[in-house]
């Protein structure tokens, strides 16, 4: 049985829902078609999210991304559509999709779309570089 592209996004329970932690994925082989010319568009997708109760299952994400290969989409449309579908599937606390499209006609296009769950506030980031600098200067 051959694997086929699919619009179904499977999920699994967040193993640590009590903690905000950053999930980072890079998808370097995204393709869709230009809706004007039918020529292929290529992009690297970068997905960053903080899960709430559910996480995205990777195989289903791969098949979902593959499902766009023969569809015509403007860059702005496809980036926002993917974000909306992912948000609907897992209802994350935060999600950012960065779509970095390769050059077409001398123009690179980057589309960045974000979702924040109502009421969610990011925790302050701890900067440990100050301690590295101090320990490296002692001798």
Q: pTM (2 decimals)?
A: 0.88
Please check whether residue 56 is in contact with residue 90, taking contact to mean a CB–CB distance below 8 angstroms. Answer: yes
Q: Which residues are catalytic?
A: 34, 41
> Residue 133: which pLDDT band, with cuts at 50, 70 and 90?
low
Beta-bridged to residue 12, according to DSSP, are 55
Can you give the length of the chain in residues? 139
Domains of the chain: 11-137 (3.30.1130.10)
List the single range of 3-12, 45-54, 107-116, 122-131 with lowest mean pLDDT: 122-131
Instruction: Take residue 52 and report the two structure tokens written for it.
Output: 């709430």
Whether residue 139 has pLDDT greater than 70: no
């Amino acid at each position: 049985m051959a694997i086929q592209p699919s619009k179904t996004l499977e999920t699994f329970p967040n193993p640590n829902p009590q903690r905000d932690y950053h999930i980072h994925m890079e998808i370097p082989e995204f393709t869709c078609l230009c809706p004007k010319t039918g020529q292929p568009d290529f992009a690297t997708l970068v997905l960053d999210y903080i899960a709430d109760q559910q996480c995205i299952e990777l195989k289903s994400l791969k098949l979902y991304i593959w499902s766009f290969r023969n569809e015509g989409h403007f860059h702005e449309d496809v980036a926002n559509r993917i974000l909306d579908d992912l948000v609907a599937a897992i209802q994350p606390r935060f999600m950012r999709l960065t779509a970095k499209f390769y050059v077409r006609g001398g123009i690179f296009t980057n589309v960045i779309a974000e979702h924040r769950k109502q009421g969610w506030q990011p925790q302050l980031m701890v900067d440990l570089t100050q301690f590295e600098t101090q320990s490296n200067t002692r001798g």
